[in-house]
Structure 1
Amino acid sequence: MFGGYGGYGGGRFEASYRCYPVSFLDKPEAERGDKIFLPPSALDRLAQLHIDYPMLFQVENRRDGRNTHCGVLEFIADEGMVYMPYWMMQNLLLQEGDVVQLRSATLPKGTFVKLQPHSADFLDITNPRAVLETTLRNFSCLTVGDTIPINYNNRRYFIDIIEAKPSDAISVIETDCNVDFAPPLDYVEPARQPPPQPVPMAAEGPAAAAGAAPAADEAAEPEQPKFLAFAGSGRRLDGKAVSESRPIAIPLPGSGRPGGSASGPASAAGSVGSGAGDGGSSAAGSAPKRPGKVFGGNRLQAKLADKASGGAGGARAPPPQPPAEKKVEEEEPKFKAFGGKGYSLKG
């Protein structure tokens, strides 16, 4: 029906009105929600039908086949007219004075809604969920396919409703509804860069590569442990300095490399044998031995010299003089055992 006259069949309100934006009523705050202004006659008819509260309506543009849902704010409009937010008129493709069809509706409480911002700037908001909750307090219902505005920090963001549960039109009054966000319409996912590939080392040829591998293994192989013989410091009973000893490196048994020379008693015996063949010399690498002193050696030399001189019938040769080192040693004071005074137990 036209001009606000509708039917009452089945307890359902239905009427036709000419639509105008809420700015005609000087109600700019109504642009932040989805509520419309109806004439007082609509209130009288709704009271007689005993419809469900809160009052929700389906608004349809039959010319273009577009529809949405809304609530009612006040019944102060002129007869035959309905005032609605301008963004709602844009969703329905309506111009000022176009005819719309209104009918009462009962919508289920929403449990889930998925939103998609038009611009990626919406993601720059510190807490978009809190801003969305504050905005939806002015809404009565949401319909899939609608575009709702959100005003924040002197800016207006537009968001599409792309999914709703349990139906395409839901009520958001006093309900706990889960909200999910889809990527913005102008969002461009950054291109993924492949990870850098390791650069293989350049080889001059197969032979060079084969020869370089054993060399690297030999360089990385740790040094075999060895036993150092005579590595300690020596001391003499008379306190004199001892010449510095040279330690001898002897490989430990079982530490030789595979295919190398054997270590152990067998190898030691072989080295001794070779040394004996060379004139009784010591094993290779051993420290040089100092000439030892023979007890009574000076006396023996004197007797031999005396016998040699007596047998020849000549004059007796003077005894050989000891070397200078021997004289120096005799001049130095020596330790004399039992050189102190004696005492008797009887006194």
Structure 2
Amino acid sequence: MFFEGYGYHGNSFEQTYRCYPASFIDKPQLETGDKIIMPPSALDRLASLHIDYPMLFELRNAATQRVSHCGVLEFIAEEGMIYMPYWMMQNLLLQEGDIVLVKNATLPKGTYVKLQPHTKDFLDISNPKAILETTLRNYSCLTTGDSIMVPYNNKKYYIDIVETKPSSAISIIETDCEVDFAPPLDYKEPERPQSSVPSRVAPAKAQDAEAVTEEEPKFTPFTGAGRRLDGKPSKHQTSPVPSPGNQQPRGGTNGGKPTTSSTSENSSSRQTTGKLVFGSNAVRAPKEAQKAPAKETKEEPPKKEEPKFQAFTGKKYSLKG
């Protein structure tokens, strides 16, 4: 079938036009939707084909093979020309005066659409859902891969159509469509605080350091203050016996002076003045007992000595009478 005068062929509407942005005519409302303005000859052709309303079209850029879909607002353009929103020309990579193929299309009603804002500023709007619903009322269809423009408060927000169901192009006229949002393109997740996890070598070194610095307390025998059997205060404090790991060699120095073993100290404490001592240590007892008071007199004031017990004293008696 041939439609005389305008070069239309076949039983479907398919025609090439030169496209121009909406700024070329006094129709600023075109930028807030997805509708184009076509010439009157297109309306005559569509009426003869009994195209169902709403009329939807497929736009194709043959040079780049980019495809989008749109509706029609009016048939008042000059012959051989169409006017479309500038954001739609950007999606199709079209310049002013480029050739675009327009073909009628039938699209299913959409049930799901996933949107992704270009910037996170769109989420800062007080009620972005209401703004989006108001804007989409000017749209007749959505195509996966397109970027629609949402004007609000003298600012333009661009939103990508990430996914549509049940097909890659859907009609959103008089339909309930579920809308989902993806994170904005410039959104960055907050950095999580890095947990200070030491390396495998670090724990071993830390354990070695703790083992050196924090040793378990060892048992030390014979510690505490010494007590005399006669109840008098002891003048000599028994020095604690060093542990096996901290033993010092006999004859070590203590402040530059030679030290004696614990055995000699214990024996000297037992062989103090005022006691009767039997055995081989009786001869050494007085000498050691004299040394001890000599040292103590330097540190403590002299004390009044009590009368000492002397053995075998008193009157002598003769067996002869």
Smaller-chain TM-score bracket: 0.5 to 0.7
Which amino acid is the alignment partner of residue 27 of structure 2?
A: K
CA change 1:58–1:190 in 2 (3 A) is same
Matched, 1:119 2:119: yes
Contact 1:40 1:75 in 2 (8 A): yes
Runs of 4+ in 1 over 3 A off after TM superposition: 194-197
**2-structure distance, mates of 1:37, 1:46:** 14
Deviations 1:187-214 (A, max 9, x none): 11111114689xx9x795241499xxxx
- The 3-state SS of whatever aligns with 1:207 is coil
Displacement of 1:5 after TM fit?
A: 2.6
Matched, 1:169 2:134: no
Matching of residues 77-88 of structure 1 within 5 Å = 77-88=77-88
**2-structure distance, mates of 1:173, 1:62:** 28
Matched, 1:158 2:136: no
- Alignment partner, residue 238 of structure 1: none
CA change 1:209–1:137 in 2 (3 A) is farther
- Alignment partner, residue 29 of structure 1: 29
**2-structure distance, mates of 1:208, 1:14:** 97
Which amino acid is the alignment partner of residue 205 of structure 1?
A: E
Which amino acid is the alignment partner of residue 127 of structure 1?
A: N
Deviations 1:239-277 (A, max 9, x none): xxxxxxxxxxxxxxxxxxxxxxxxxxxxxxxxxxxxxxx
**Residue identity (%):** 66
Contact 1:4 1:15 in 2 (8 A): no
Matching of residues 185-334 of structure 1 within 5 Å = 185-194=185-194, 204-208=213-217
- Alignment partner, residue 6 of structure 1: 8
Contact 1:4 1:81 in 2 (8 A): no
**2-structure distance, mates of 1:131, 1:103:** 31
Displacement of 1:4 after TM fit?
A: 5.5
Matching of residues 93-132 of structure 1 within 5 Å = 93-132=93-132
Deviations 1:156-178 (A, max 9, x none): 11111111100000001111111
**1-structure distance, mates of 2:118, 2:146:** 12
**Which blocks of at least 5 consecutive residues in structure 2 are unaligned?**
198-205, 220-321
Which amino acid is the alignment partner of residue 124 of structure 1?
A: D
**2-structure distance, mates of 1:158, 1:20:** 21
Which amino acid is the alignment partner of residue 214 of structure 2?
A: G
Contact 2:20 2:96 in 1 (8 A): yes
**2-structure distance, mates of 1:79, 1:126:** 44
Deviations 1:16-73 (A, max 9, x none): 1111111111111111000000111111111111112100000101011111000000
Displacement of 1:95 after TM fit?
A: 1.1
Displacement of 1:126 after TM fit?
A: 1.5
Contact 1:21 1:96 in 2 (8 A): yes
Larger Rg: 1
**2-structure distance, mates of 1:208, 1:136:** 79
**Which blocks of at least 5 consecutive residues in structure 1 are unaligned?**
211-347
**2-structure distance, mates of 1:168, 1:4:** 32
Which amino acid is the alignment partner of residue 172 of structure 2?
A: V
Contact 2:8 2:45 in 1 (8 A): no
Contact 2:91 2:146 in 1 (8 A): yes
Which amino acid is the alignment partner of residue 207 of structure 1?
A: E
- The 3-state SS of whatever aligns with 1:150 is strand
Contact 1:146 1:161 in 2 (8 A): yes
Contact 1:40 1:77 in 2 (8 A): yes
Contact 1:40 1:79 in 2 (8 A): yes
- The 3-state SS of whatever aligns with 1:163 is strand
Contact 1:56 1:71 in 2 (8 A): yes
The total of aligned residue pairs comes to 208
Contact 2:113 2:161 in 1 (8 A): yes
Displacement of 1:6 after TM fit?
A: 2.3
- The 3-state SS of whatever aligns with 2:160 is strand
Displacement of 1:8 after TM fit?
A: 2.9
- Alignment partner, residue 69 of structure 1: 69
Q: What is the RMSD of the two structures over their aligned residues, measured on CA atoms?
A: 2.7
Which amino acid is the alignment partner of residue 137 of structure 2?
A: R
- The 3-state SS of whatever aligns with 1:123 is helix
